[in-house]
Structure 1
Amino acid sequence: MSNFAVKRPWTGRLGSLLGIMVMALSLRTAVSVVPPLLGELRPELGFDAGTIGLLAMLPPLIFAVFGLLTPALIRRFGLERVLVAAVVLAVAGQLVRAASDHVWPFLGWSAVVMAGYGIGNVVLPPLVKKYFPDRVGVVTAGYVTLLAVGTAVSPQLAVPVAGLSNWRVSIGMWAAVSLVVLLPWAAQALRDRRGSRLADDSGHSSPAAVGRPGVSGAVQKLVPWRSPVAWGLAIFLAGNSAQTYVYFTWLPPYLSGQGVDAATAGSALAYFAILGLPVSLLVPLWVPRMKNPIIAIGVFAVCWSAGHLGLYLSPMHGTWLWVTFSGLGQGTFATALLMVNLRSRTTHGSSVLSGFSQGVGYAGAGIAPLFFGTIHDATGSWTASFAMLGACLLVMLAGAVMINPRRYIEDSAADAPAAVTEGTPAAKTE
């Protein structure tokens, strides 16, 4: 059986691989498709400044809530069933909100969509851990890259599709991508069930289960609140996501206020999003080979710093250079997702670490765009707002220091001694 895993590493797992990739592609489309269409939504549904602000805050806040709830759901129902529930929520929410005729139902069903994707955020890392413990780096590189693709593509297509049809089609069509997620998982479930029957008849493990931790054995009770690794990753993700959400919310209006024309300001945001693609592909292939991941994080932190300073000191001159630096800084997000599996030994540990870090992290990041704007309104200057970005960068680096040592969330299990009761020690990654 060990030879199977070495010589034919993808056999029996192609369905789960496709399911992970399509889920990643769909995770941000429903979020990023709406802002370009607000010009049409505003008069038809009754959006105002307050409800637009609420719409901007929904993703990180809902992601935070379901980040904290999802590990308990996974423990009770299993990864695959929770994934299916997440997809159903996302599909239903997207279709019904596209048919909404008023702002409040639209916001309510948007919250349902975010709940589905908030669960999906947490489920993806442990799915990689469960099905591909021997290919964590490669699979993470693929899904983080597709996550960035979905983030960049849906706003680019939003207005053209609405022009050919209407905004309802432009928003609702992404439900089809989410629905496709169910197909490969259904195929994988049938294959696993067939493999389980063969295993029961022969007394041997099925190929689909080779190399996958968590297939059997008791599960440790993990208390992330007591884990320095969990707190470190949560702090790291909070500092990173705060900067990213500020850029997605404020980069176009900030540049427009500094004299950059609206079209260029919008293109700058699209360029910022697109720059997430190369670093998303690079990080999971590079960082696992490093003894001290904080070195890579330091490089990305320098990029963030250069971008922040350039946009503050000289927004009209060198605009594209500054946005390039900040865009490359997004490698810290890919690093955060990767560290979920590099700092856990088991599938259960990965799900707990993923849920806690994303729950606490997104809760902290969700208020950053609001503070960035209100600080400017209160002071009449962008100085304090950009100083806040600097503080977020320091918070991120503090978390990086905590997750740099090679230790695992299972090390702080409340009731577990030395033994690891699920799976095997941390698998070699690529």
Structure 2
Amino acid sequence: MNDSTKTIASLLDRLMAVRQFSAKIVDPLETEDFVIQTMPDVSPTKWHLAHTTWFFEQFILKPSMPGYRVFHPQFSFLFNSYYNAVGERHPRMQRGVLSRPTVREVLEYRTYVDQALEDFLQQPPSNEVGDLIEIGINHEQQHQELMLTDIKHVLSCNPLRPAYRVNLNEFKASETAPLIWISFAGGITEIGVEGDGFHFDNESPRHEVLNRDFELASRLTTNGEYLQFVESDGYQNPSLWLSEGWDQVQACHWKAPLYWERIDGEWQEFTLGGMRPLDPHAPVTHVSYFEADAFARWSNCRLATEAEWETVGQIESVAQSNSFVGNFAEDDFLHPIAWHPEAQKSGQTASGIHQFYGDVWEWTASPYVAYPGYQPAPGAIGEYNGKFMSSQWVLKGGSCATSRTHIRPSYRNFFHPDKRWQFTGIRLAR
């Protein structure tokens, strides 16, 4: 087997492994679960499966595989997400009304496209097509995380509070590990993607930033710590909130993080494993940027900037040889777990920082904007990141629903500041 053949075999193996992981994610679902859309941010599981398949059909097979015939001529309209250059699309808010195509037809669509991809990759693709396949692999990993967070929201809206899976792993620490402040020297450093590995266009170019001396909390903020904020009337004190955040609290009647419920005087939390007593030692999650910012202000602290976070993230990346210690989707908790020396995944860190990767996406104090000299990718793929650089905030580090192979220090997630349905959490800085 020559080098070219080895490269193609590796690419095909990784592609099919990711496609199969999507099938593993949806395996516990009943057919009825696949079709529900509970809010505009949530897409039905069936739509995610079809959209990620359409991506490979639209950008790989149609333009590059001679004689390829599309599975269904209207699927491009139904399952295009936001690529204006590709054509018209079904409205996002109405994805839940699509009873047809059926789940069975969508699964047949995936099989059809997978077989075509296997046939196509019997020969080395061009470098350009190979790059598009890498984007497709990472794109599907993003939607795998969305499938998990979206189905969690769907199930949470059911009065039965059904579990996605009852056999998920669990870990409970006997106490909360002490919070230690870790100091980092300021100065000029570089952030942004480094090296030749895969990255999205919004991670480049690498550029200089200036940090002042700063400190980060050694671990994530816990449920128990956030509960103190709740019980001290944090949601009733407008002086703690940004103006838009206070408006959101009032309009949506926020009293606690999403999925917290007070039942018979005790706080419980809806998880992908069903309702559970609130674990005071585990990281708080499903909080908006507004809530993270208000909690930090209540704590006489702040959130880290993107540059501060990534400066430390690069230290940890080198120390861990890019094989990140943390709680990721493959670990099968699908919920943040407490950090404690007794936790098997505590690991050794270079800086004394724990839970830096996995568990929860960490809100930063930085708006999602272009790096100096940023250029979006050419063509329709250029709509992937750049056009969303408005009114959103950067999150770093990945979550318990992120694949371990998907994350890196330069990775830039982004959401509007009121969003809570993702596994988002807090690390304090000062």
TM range, smaller chain: under 0.3
Q: Which has the higher helix share?
A: 1
Q: Which has the higher contact order (CA 8 A, sep 6+)?
A: 1
Query: What TM-score comes out, normalization by structure 1 length?
Result: 0.25
Query: What TM-score comes out, normalization by structure 2 length?
Result: 0.25
